[in-house]
A and B are shown apart, each in its own frame.
Chain A
Amino acid sequence: MSPDLKQLRGSAAIAGVATFGCGEAHGFTEMELLVRSAHAAVAEAGLKMSDIDGLCTASVGATMWSMPVIEYLGIRPTYIDGTMIGGASFIAHLLPAMHALQSGQCKAVLVCYGSTQRTSTHGRREVAQARRWMDPQPYETPYEPFNPPSAYALAASRHMHQYGTTRRDLAEVAVAARAWARLNPEAFMREPLSIDDVLAARMVSDPLSVRDCCLVTDGGGAYVLVHSDRAPDLRQKPVYVLGNATAVWNRQISSMDDLTVTAATQSGRDAYAMAGLGAKDIDVVQLYDAFTINTLLFLEDLGFCSKGEAGAFVRNGGIAPGGHLPVNTNGGGLSCVHPGMYGIFALIEAVRQLRGDCGDRQVPRAMTAIAHGNGGTLSSQSTAVLGLAETL
């Protein structure tokens, strides 16, 4: 860890967060959901849109997405980051923005996203066809993996084979997420869900059933990042970025060295090193749960348990309300919201928990949080360690 990077610890704070249109947003475009979220996050921070001089965004469809977003918002940013590494993007946007704030390149960075994946009139099948041309994977596509589920199913098969993890262990993750969602009025799916319900659900790509897969919803999310010198003067209790790191090892699941070990081992190690904290110091955990296997892999790779032991870790409600570690307290991508890319929503929930804004699902005395993003098919990983002023 470079000493200069360590000096960035706590140098920036999240000053505003917002979501808009999570669930079903009939009649809205992706841009409109993004802009409503952005507007609300800026207002929550006590800023005006004209104060925003840094812009980070990414889109699954539009490769030059930062340009129409800047145009629509009517801003003239001096810092622009359109890094697109799938669902982890909006967590990976943190560290470069911290550099930009530290150097004075900009003063207030808006990170924003919107998706109408659920209600869009463009069929998912059509989009998948287009992506075959725009993002070719000539050594996987001919075998027709039903991706993303099949890639994660392959990883799950390997975890089960090596470590004796069971479908019941995977189901525990979905049931815990639902139990948290039942405490969150903004969650999309709030009906009771049992282990047996998950085990009996329609199979998609063995060993993953439809209840092992995330939701497909609409939704927008945004947050505002400012230099920590300025954060105490703004409207919200600041949430400081203590560490952030991003890692990519592969694009395709077939190019992954070990399907039970993700690049989160690298992003987690580096984010912890920057923060000077470890897993034992984290009070509340938000993990990108596109599939139930993700939560198991990231609990291990981020050091909450040893490799191979996540099945035992989540058993008997281990990560549900009242368990030994609060994980995905909004209900996660499995039960709260998952509009194409979920990372920004994991980060927003972490911020809300640290501020104490979470009502019935509030984790008492939470001072530190992890928000971990994943993208592609276990391809990109970005870990953020967040904390309140007391942790600086």
Chain B
Amino acid sequence: MNPSQPMSVNRGALARHQAALAQGRFLIQKCNDCTRHIYYPREICPHCGSDAVELVEPTGTGTVYAVTNVRRKPAEGGDYNVSLIDLDEGPRLMSRVEKMAPDSVKIGQRVSARVVLTEGRGMVIFDPVPGGGAP
């Protein structure tokens, strides 16, 4: 670490993001230079290169952009959904839509984020928004 550049924070973007997740909080980033939102969290903005990035709370709602139903034997847990979700703030992330059958998730479905905690780790998953079926 370069001592002439004191760290404003004592951990990287990933650790801070994951720590918030582990407390049940889903955060994304915003660039204070170009004002665009960013996900996954990084040390610099992939849009403009600025390091003036900060973690912010998203609305938590978004839309299914792409979808697949991963086939798995029932004995191993059965099929499961993997989707790409476009957050209303702009960024896209991989996640899973729950509370509906994995093969019934359609592109365009409106969804809302929820953090699930497993063994001290947080994970963002999405549930369908009532009345938010794919048009």
Query: How many angstroms between the C-alpha atoms of A146 and B94 in the bound complex?
Result: 13
Contact A253 B93 (CB under 8 A): no
Contact A138 B14 (CB under 8 A): yes
Contact B94 A254 (CB under 8 A): yes
Task: Find the A residue at minimum CB distance from B40.
Answer: A139
Nearest-Cβ distance from residue B94 to partner chain A, whole angstroms: 4
Q: Hey, what's the 0/1 contact readout for B118-131 against A, CB within 8 Å counting as 1?
A: 00000100000000
Contact B103 A206 (CB under 8 A): yes
B61 is an interface residue with CB less than 8 A from chain A:
no
A145 is an interface residue with CB less than 8 A from chain B:
yes
Contact B68 A144 (CB under 8 A): no
Contact B94 A253 (CB under 8 A): yes
Chain A residues with CB under 8 Å of B65's CB are 158, 259
Contact A252-B94, Cβ < 8 Å, known A139-B40, A144-B80, A154-B82: yes
A280 is an interface residue with CB less than 8 A from chain B:
no
Query: How many angstroms between the C-alpha atoms of A296 and B70 in the bound complex?
Result: 22
A203 is an interface residue with CB less than 8 A from chain B:
yes
Tell me which of B69, B80, B82 has the highest count of chain A C-beta atoms within 10 A of its own C-beta. Answer: B82
Contact A144 B40 (CB under 8 A): no
Contact B66 A206 (CB under 8 A): no
Q: Which of B66, B69, B123 contacts A158 (CB 8 A)?
A: B66
Contact A157 B123 (CB under 8 A): no
Chain B residues with CB under 8 Å of A157's CB are 66-68, 107
Chain A residues with CB under 8 Å of B94's CB are 139-140, 143, 145, 252-254
Query: How many angstroms between the C-alpha atoms of A142 and B92 in the bound complex?
Result: 16
Main secondary structure of the interface of B (DSSP, over half): strand
Query: How many angstroms between the C-alpha atoms of A144 and B79 in the bound complex?
Result: 11
Q: Which of A154, A202, A255 contacts B66 (CB 8 A)?
A: A154
Question: Which bracket fits the contact residues of B?
Answer: 20 to 34
Q: Hey, what's the 0/1 contact readout for A119-162 against B, CB within 8 Å counting as 1?
A: 00000000000000000001110111110001001110110010
Contact B84 A154 (CB under 8 A): yes
Contact B107 A204 (CB under 8 A): no
Q: Which of A142, A144, A161, A203 contacts B71 (CB 8 A)?
A: A203
Nearest-Cβ distance from residue A166 to partner chain B, whole angstroms: 15
Contact B70 A161 (CB under 8 A): no
Contact A154 B68 (CB under 8 A): yes
Q: How many residues of A contact B (CB 8 A)?
A: 27
Contact A206 B14 (CB under 8 A): no
**CB interface residues, B 63-120, toward A, < 8 Å:** 65-71, 80, 82-84, 92-96, 103, 107-108
Query: How many angstroms between the C-alpha atoms of A202 and B70 in the bound complex?
Result: 12
Contact A161-B68, Cβ < 8 Å, known A144-B80, A254-B92: no
Contact A155-B70, Cβ < 8 Å, known A143-B82, A253-B94: no
Chain A residues with CB under 8 Å of B108's CB are 161
Nearest-Cβ distance from residue B74 to partner chain A, whole angstroms: 14
Nearest-Cβ distance from residue B54 to partner chain A, whole angstroms: 18
A205 is an interface residue with CB less than 8 A from chain B:
yes
Contact B66 A145 (CB under 8 A): no
Nearest-Cβ distance from residue B17 to partner chain A, whole angstroms: 9
Chain A residues with CB under 8 Å of B107's CB are 157-158, 161
Contact B71 A204 (CB under 8 A): yes
Q: Which of B68, B96, B103 contacts A153 (CB 8 A)?
A: B68
Query: How many angstroms between the C-alpha atoms of A142 and B70 in the bound complex?
Result: 14
Chain A residues with CB under 8 Å of B68's CB are 145, 150, 153-154, 157, 205-208
Task: Find the A residue at minimum CB distance from B121.
Answer: A142
Q: Which of B40, B80, B84 contacts A253 (CB 8 A)?
A: B84
Contact A144 B66 (CB under 8 A): no
Chain B residues with CB under 8 Å of A253's CB are 84, 94
Query: How many angstroms between the C-alpha atoms of A208 and B69 in the bound complex?
Result: 10
Chain A residues with CB under 8 Å of B92's CB are 254-255
Task: Find the A residue at minimum CB distance from B69.
Answer: A206
Q: Hey, what's the 0/1 contact readout for A158-180 against B, CB within 8 Å counting as 1?
A: 10010000000000000000000
Chain B residues with CB under 8 Å of A202's CB are 71
**CB interface residues, A 241-259, toward B, < 8 Å:** 252-255, 259
Contact A150 B84 (CB under 8 A): no
Contact B70 A150 (CB under 8 A): yes
Task: Find the B residue at minimum CB distance from A260.
Answer: B66
Task: Find the B residue at minimum CB distance from A206.
Answer: B69
Query: How many angstroms between the C-alpha atoms of A326 and B7 in the bound complex?
Result: 58
Tell me which of A157, A202, A207 has the highest count of chain B C-beta atoms within 10 A of its own C-beta. Answer: A157
10 pairs of A and B residues whose beta carbons are closest in the complex = A153-B68, A154-B66, A254-B94, A139-B40, A206-B69, A158-B66, A161-B107, A205-B68, A140-B94, A145-B82
Q: Which residues of A contact B (CB under 8 A)?
A: 138-140, 142-146, 150, 153-155, 157-158, 161, 202-208, 252-255, 259
13 A-B pairs in the complex with CB atoms less than 8 angstroms apart: A138-B18, A139-B94, A144-B70, A145-B94, A150-B68, A154-B82, A157-B67, A158-B107, A204-B71, A205-B69, A205-B71, A206-B68, A259-B65
